[in-house]
Structure 1
């Protein structure tokens, strides 16, 4: 994520439609050499991981009625989520019902592409391998509340990533840890930004503050084209001290040396490769523009 020192026009009003179009066009302009460097750097941060089998759940494709199996696998490469209680999880689920809610909680996972397999009757089926941290697997095995929540976000994740709608009526297979053969997945093994709070003492420290921020939808009504975050960083001196990572539905930011730490879950899927950011060295405001995936 490139962060420049270019100054932004100050003002309290939201950007006009013309400003948004211009901003969007700028985001599409990519330096080929810079893009190549980013691609090589991304590859260097990843390696193939063969997950460890954990448990298997059965559901079906709503449209085709085909059997679908979810191989829940583990790898220590995947961070563990912040530890919360069942009551806190239930309160979190209630808050998610508000489509504009900004939820500061996420379950790190990797959902692989579907692979064709045969069930025990030798009928064709689809299988998705979902990789989570081993500690979180133990958590969902010991709690129907956490297991139900986990399957809800897996089903949502498969739909958002592959446009496949799975039946929310699922069962756990008692005598099978996985169906078919587990597939290797590319996983991020190094990062300058922690995946979840508290997982890396060398990155996260109690001295880091959570900065004030606002997130606006553009347009304000209906499904937005953009999310625009303004993060107040009064102690930041230059843009090069800011590390920013934007995922499909998540924004993670740190400011060195341990000045600020922000990790927020967003209620929309983002177009990651078109996100942009600018730091105003006078106002000390980091503005992040995030195009939103549009409904198909």
Structure 2
């Protein structure tokens, strides 16, 4: 199915009640172990209804179909770390360098594409992007931040759905949303820990961001490997370290709430061949990550 074409004679999507019944039937057929995993996963998620913010018009580079980015908000999405405009300009410059690692995240939730009709009753595609309300205000007030945000959104949609969008986009002045906003499931925020017998509450400790160094092998041309060296001076054993290497993303944490790292990488990796080793003497975690051929 091509989501960029208008849907004709489409079967109606199942209602929430039908989806709930389907989920319960699936649970009944699942093994006890899988059932427990599904229930634990469900307990960590909550349904979020986004609030309209602004709408941006662009197009699919392959089909030339109109695409609308519904920028929405929810307090369930954390705001990105504060950054100056001058530093952001440096990061924008780095986006053109395929060898650069941009270690700055804009938390967002990218929803599924949904077919809609524009004001001329022509088929189009809409994506709902949920961000923090404070960050929406920042991108509204500053063209530099808006430009960086749209670069991240376009890259995110390409990575998730392999849809290349035109970077010549237009912010619509009189429209906040095209179509109907879709509810999304998101991870629940960490709750403040309860302390019984006391009037005070102890917040969950905030993990540090460790020092990261990424090397290329070879240094010139398309690399065969990326080698990441992460300094973890407070880590005492390898069992406390969790590493998750995605196709172009590295996520690492050290229990209990000592370190957290989440970075996107400039190359696609061969995930199943990635390896890691922690040196308890130097306190350095080394990851060897083979790169997919150019």
Do both proteins adopt the same fold according to a TM-score greater than 0.5, normalized to the shorter chain? yes
Give how far 1:143 is off.
0.8
Instruction: Please say if 1:161 is aligned against 2:163.
Output: no
Give the distance between the partners of 1:49 and 1:40, measured in 2 at CA: 18
Distance 2:190 2:279 in 1: 25
- The answer to which structure, 1 or 2, has the higher relative contact order (CA under 8 A, 6+ apart) is 1
**Cα separation, partners in 2 of 1:291 and 1:35, compared to 1, 3 Å:** farther
Deviations 1:173-195 (A, max 9, x none): 22221111111222222569xxx
TM-score with structure 1 setting the length: 0.71
Task: Report what 2:65 is aligned to.
Answer: 66
Deviation at 1:104, TM superposition (A): 2.2
Which residue of the partner structure matches residue 204 of structure 2? 202
Aligned equivalent of 1:10: none
1:103 counterpart SS class: coil
- Give the deviation of 1:222 after TM superposition: 4.4
Q: CA RMSD in A?
A: 3.5
1:1-296 equivalent positions in 2, closer than 5 A: 41-190=40-189, 202-204=204-206, 208=208, 210-217=209-216, 222-224=221-223, 226-244=225-243, 249-257=248-256, 259-269=258-268, 277-281=276-280, 283-290=282-289
Q: CA deviation at 1:232?
A: 3.1
The structure-2 alpha-carbon separation of the partners of 1:273 and 1:125, relative to structure 1 and needing over 3 Å to count, comes to farther
Residues matched between the structures, number:
253
The structure whose Rg is larger is: 2
**Structure 1 Cα separation of the partners of residues 140 and 184 of structure 2:** 23
1:129–1:183: 8 Å Cα contact kept in structure 2? Answer: yes
8 Å contact from structure 1 (residues 252, 262) kept in 2: yes
Q: Given that residues 45 and 189 in structure 1 are in contact (C-alpha distance below 8 angstroms), is that contact kept between their aligned partners in structure 2?
A: yes
Alpha-carbon distance between aligned partners in 1 of 2:126 and 2:211, rounded to the nearest angstrom: 42
CA distance in structure 1 between the aligned counterparts of 2:91 and 2:64, rounded to whole angstroms = 32
TM-score (norm 2): 0.71
Q: Give the direction of change, closer, same or farther, for the CA distance of 1:89–1:184 in structure 2 (3 Å limit).
A: same
2:286 is paired with a residue whose SS is strand
Unaligned runs of 5+ in 2: 1-31, 192-202
Query: How far apart are the structure 2 equivalents of 1:41 and 1:225?
Result: 39
Whether contact under 8 Å (2:76, 2:189) holds in the other structure is: no
CA distance in 2, matches of 1:60, 1:259: 43
Quote the Cα distance in structure 2 between the aligned partners of 1:294 and 1:186: 35
In 1: Cα distance, 2:276 partner to 2:225 partner: 13
